[in-house]
Amino acid sequence: MAMDAGAAAQKALAKVEKLVAMSASPHLEEARTSAFLACRLIREHGLQIATHRPSPAKSPVATGVEQGQDPAGFRRIRVRHPGRCLCCANPIAPGEWALWCRGIGLRHPLCAT
Instruction: Return the number of other C-beta atoms located less than 10 Å from residue 13's C-beta.
Output: 15
Percent of the chain with pLDDT over 70: 76
> Is position 40 within any domain?
yes
> Is position 85 within any domain?
yes
Instruction: Compute the C-alpha angle 60/64/70, nearest 5°.
Output: 155
> Is position 55 within any domain?
no
Q: Please tell me the predicted confidence (pLDDT) of residue 65.
A: 42
Count of the separate structural domains present in the chain: 2
At residue 67, does pLDDT exceed 70? no
Q: Which domain holds residue 89?
A: 71-107
pTM flag (> 0.85): no
> Is position 94 within any domain?
yes
Q: Please tell me the predicted confidence (pLDDT) of residue 32.
A: 93
